[in-house]
Amino acid sequence: MTRYRSYKRTHAYAKGTTCKRSCAALAILAIAVSPAMAGCGAQETGSTELPKKTDVEVIAFQQPWNSIAKECTETYGPEGVAYVEVSPPQETIEGTQWWTSYQPVSYKLDSKLGTQAEFKNMVEECNTAGVDIIADVVLNQTTGANDKGTQRGVAGTKYNPTTGDYPGFTGNEDQYPKGITKDDFHDYENGASITGYLNQEEVQEGRLSGMWDFDTSSDKVQDIQSDYFAKLYEMGVRGFRIDAAKHIDADDLKAIKEKTATKIGAPAKDIFWVQEVIGNAGEASGIQPSNYFDNGTVTQFAYVTNLKSAFKGSLTSLSDLGERLGDTKRNKFAIPDELANVFVTNWDTARNGQALTYRDGADYALANAFMLAYDYGTPRLISDYGFTASDDGAPGSTATEVPEVDFADECSSADGQWNCQQRWTPIRGMIAFHNYVHGTQVTDWQEHDDNVIAFSRGNKGFIAINNSTDDLKGLEFDTDMPDGEYCDVYGTQDCSTTVTVKGGKVKVDVAAKSAVAIYAGATAKVHPASSVAVDPSTPSW
């Protein structure tokens, strides 16, 4: 017997802008529904657009600029992605490992992922496609301090990690001709590395994994780093992810942001920041998420672990997720909805075992569907690659370059080295769902059993998720959706499977480890046209 709960929440959304797009392909994973409901067919569609973009982000992890530029035009823009987050664009140490991107040797925009000209072109191409770029920015550290002697970055800039000399950090006007020296770094206990997280000073002035730690309280460092932000902003970048933000004093970040705002002539509050902060009881009070709320949005790592626990256990634990993670009166580590940046996984959690990943198959797809259907935080997807060892760089990486990838070719099957999540059928469908229902509340939360849930988003959308291993037939749920015949956007692009709502009820068959999702803008007669039912990149789970 289905159990019913109703949750209504109000939210403040201030993320993303909107733009109109022409009709675009919406590819979605085929799913079992009642035969009586099937058969609308692509030939019955009318002319319609996908919902306008809202706030969906996609991490284009370790992807070259030219590849992202093309994918913005072919996929991200048409499907309604608001932001693409790119890996750090600055010059770094050499090496095939992905983490070399997080050890800058200068703020020159020549990196393993492309040249400054290619970066600028990517930003312009994506902006033209209606997609804004978020740049991952490394402010906390440079390189390991124990590496020996003079070395060169991927663009040829010399640096000496033994002496702490980084002459490539000169500022936009070369106002610091000697660059960064050892005097511009913190010297916590004579260069000690961080060994614990209960001492705020140690966390924010000690060396993370042995890397030189910028003295972000100094005027010189703040000037150089705000110059970097200003340069990126003036090239068209409209968002910034602050790597290792909890390792930087929140007041220092505020000062850097304000200096950036002065240089670009915009209010600091209008500069979109995503700050990497991990809140938990085992860390100092001064590095908890609440310290960073005044600066911008904050990553909600508890969302990652909660989703993994639920999809490996019971989905009913998600019934009050927004309150548990967003109500600061209930949870001192909470991040309010409008400040929370949520995700199923990122590159770190994919490698440390904390999150669901592409290796979890249907669980991973369903968790992303839940995130896009639910009403807490700004959703952040990832487009990454398969890896064996945690250090593995992008396919074909050399010490100085990541080769370009043609996603149209790479994603022509589900067997490529790149995972192509941005093209998967359920991801595309749920991006459209999210954009359409954006700003509404979760209503009519229902639990058929521990692993089968359903809910509406007011009268705009409905989703049922079956995380059990059994095909379930004839499930009946309440919904606020108006009566009508709707396309199952989790299941097919061409509306070859439909769901009927009648009298506030929806009766569906939901296959094992799958879902049914409908929204009021995709009906049997009017929905985005498509020549395929399922995108070829979609895995068979």
For residue 10, pLDDT over 60 is answered with: no
> What's the pLDDT at 36?
31
Kindly report, residue by residue over 207-255, the tens digit of the pLDDT: 999 999 999 999 999 999 999 999 999 999 999 999 999 999 999 999 9
> What's the pLDDT at 19?
32
For residue 446, pLDDT over 90 is answered with: yes
Amino acid making up residue 322: G
For residue 32, pLDDT over 70 is answered with: no
> What's the pLDDT at 246?
98
Kindly report, residue by residue over 288-326, the tens digit of the pLDDT: 999 999 999 999 999 999 999 999 999 999 999 999 999
Joined together, the tokens standing for residue 197 give 């997280």
For residue 530, pLDDT over 90 is answered with: no
> What's the pLDDT at 257?
98
For residue 285, pLDDT over 70 is answered with: yes
The CATH architecture one would assign to domain 57-437 is Alpha-Beta Barrel (3.20)
Distance CA 336, CA 175 (A): 40
Average pLDDT, the chain: 92
In the block, tokens 């909600």 appear at 300
Shortest CA distance to 226 belongs to which of 253, 247, 188, 256? 256
> What's the pLDDT at 44?
58
Joined together, the tokens standing for residue 167 give 């002459």
> What's the pLDDT at 46?
63
Detail the DSSP E strand segments found in 98-210: 132-137, 141-144, 151-152, 158-159
For residue 7, pLDDT over 80 is answered with: no
> What's the pLDDT at 33?
38
> What's the pLDDT at 505?
98
Looking at the DSSP assignment, which residues form a beta bridge with residue 363? none
Catalogue the active-site residues. 243, 276
- What proportion of the chain, given as a percentage, has pLDDT over 70? 91
For residue 13, pLDDT over 60 is answered with: no
pLDDT band at 45 (very low <50, low <70, confident <90, very high): low
Domain boundaries, the chain: 57-437, 442-519
Kindly report, residue by residue over 66-86, the tens digit of the pLDDT: 999 999 999 999 999 999 999
In the block, tokens 């606020």 appear at 480
Q: Report the pLDDT averaged over residues 123-147.
A: 96
Q: Report the pLDDT averaged over residues 8-25.
A: 32
Element (H, E) at 476: strand 472-478
pLDDT band at 9 (very low <50, low <70, confident <90, very high): very low
> What's the pLDDT at 531?
83
Residues 6+ apart with CB under 8 A from 92: 100, 101, 102, 103, 104, 105, 111, 112, 153, 154
Q: 133 to each of 51, 168, 419, 421, 428, how far by Cα in Å?
A: 20, 25, 21, 18, 19
Distance CA 18, CA 222 (A): 33
Q: CATH fold of 442-519, please?
A: Immunoglobulin-like (2.60.40)
**Fold: same for 57-437 and 442-519:** no
pLDDT band at 38 (very low <50, low <70, confident <90, very high): very low
**Degrees, nearest 5: CA angle 44-51-296:** 160
Distance CA 503, CA 370 (A): 25
Q: Are 492 and 518 in contact (CB under 8 A)?
A: no
> What's the pLDDT at 529?
81
Kindly report, residue by residue over 450-471, the tens digit of the pLDDT: 999 999 999 999 999 999 999 9
Distance CA 339, CA 438 (A): 16
> What's the pLDDT at 83?
98
For residue 131, pLDDT over 70 is answered with: yes
